Amino acid sequence: MYLIGQLLILALQIYTFIIIAQVVISWLIAFGVINTANPQARRLVGGLEKLTEPVMEPIRRFIPPIGGIDITPIIVIFGIMILERVIATIFFA
């Protein structure tokens, strides 16, 4: 059971880093550092969106952008942190 708990927490931590990477890349695109006309950049953005959108889209329905800033990644990361604590309590207590 200890190993399963560690694997679940590791998967959640990896997903958190994927969300952070998606946010940083979206900022780089917004500021013109990354050009999505580049096929490799387009594939990277598409891959990150495929990984993050299934979780973020339902939350975006209830919480719209505030002042043009999407706070969905922050909410998802807080949710992941809570889920990590619950898993740690269940598997390691």
Range of the domain at 23: 2-92
Alpha helices in 1-93 (DSSP H): 2-30, 39-62, 72-92
pTM of the prediction? Answer: 0.92
Question: How many domains does the chain fold into?
Answer: 1
| Per-residue pLDDT tens digits for 14-54 | 999 999 999 999 999 999 999 989 999 999 999 999 999 99
Report the pLDDT value the prediction gives residue 68, as an integer from 0 to 100: 85
Tokens representing residue 12 in the block = 């959640």
- Residues 44 and 73: their CA atoms lie apart, in Å, by 18
